[in-house]
């Protein structure tokens, strides 16, 4: 369903955050980003101030979308792992639970083999968190629609955004 929004609550955010931090340590990576397939950053860990994180998220999603398109053209469902090799830094991209993208930036302190191994393990854990997140989002939408802070947005609130 296209209109299902992604809702991230504190509890899942903390679990994802922990998972990313652990993966970053185990894979000896510079930075790790978890990105929604539409290009929104969900969580991140590592040397974040070294990167333009918003641009990274958007370009990564574009990259994955284009590669998905290529996969379908040749009859594959998807390419679940992408690897970009640079002189100093490298990027490992993988798909988590169909809707998110895990981006790992690493240098000579790590290796592709190590990153692949650790990502595989972390992937499973993150998929669980995503399942919980989706279930919670669906339940929340059905059980307590009035609980959304946006149900009370007024026209004045919206106008205030554009008041400058």
Partner 1 sequence: MTFINYASREINCKIVYYGPGLGGKTTNLQYIYNKTAPEAKGKMISLATEADRTLFFDFLPLDLGSIRGFTTRFHLYTVPGQVFYDASRKLILKGVDGVVFVADSQEERMEANIESIRNLEENLREHGFDLATIPYALQFNKRDLPTAVAVTELYRTLNFKREPTFEAVATTGVGVFDTLKAVAKQILVELRKR
Which residues are at the interface with partner 1 (CB under 8 A)? 1-10, 13-14, 36-40, 42, 52, 54-55, 58-59, 62, 65-66, 68-69, 141, 145, 148-153, 157-158, 160-162
Q: Give the sign of the dihedral formed by CA 32, CA 130, CA 99, CA 1.
A: negative
Nearer to partner 1, 108 or 152 (CB): 152
Q: Put the strands of the sheet holding 31-36 in their side by side order.
A: 41-46, 31-36, 100-106, 90-96, 81-85
> What is the nearest approach in angstroms of partner 1 to the Cβ of residue 41?
9
> What is the nearest approach in angstroms of partner 1 to the Cβ of residue 115?
26
> What is the nearest approach in angstroms of partner 1 to the Cβ of residue 71?
12
**Of the candidates 119, 137, 124, which has an alpha carbon nearest to the alpha carbon of residue 33?**
119
137 and 6 Cβ atoms separated by less than 8 Å: yes
Nearer to partner 1, 108 or 159 (CB): 159
């Amino acid at each position: 369903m296209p209109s299902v929004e992604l809702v991230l609550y504190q509890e899942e955010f903390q679990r994802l955050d922990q998972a990313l931090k652990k993966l970053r340590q185990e894979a000896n990576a510079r930075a790790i980003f978890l990105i929604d397939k539409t290009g929104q950053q969900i969580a991140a860990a590592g040397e974040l101030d070294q990167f333009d994180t918003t641009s990274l998220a958007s370009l990564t999603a574009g990259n994955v979308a284009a590669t998905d398109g290529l996969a379908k053209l040749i009859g594959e469902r998807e390419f679940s792992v992408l690897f970009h090799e640079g002189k100093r830094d490298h990027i490992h991209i993988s798909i988590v639970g169909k809707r998110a993208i895990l981006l790992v930036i690493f240098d000579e302190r790590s290796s592709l083999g190590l990153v692949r191994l650790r990502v595989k393990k972390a992937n499973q854990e993150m998929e669980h968190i995503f399942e919980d997140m989706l279930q919670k989002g669906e339940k929340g939408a059905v059980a307590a629609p009035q609980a959304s802070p946006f149900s009370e947005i007024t026209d004045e609130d919206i106008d205030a955004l554009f008041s400058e």
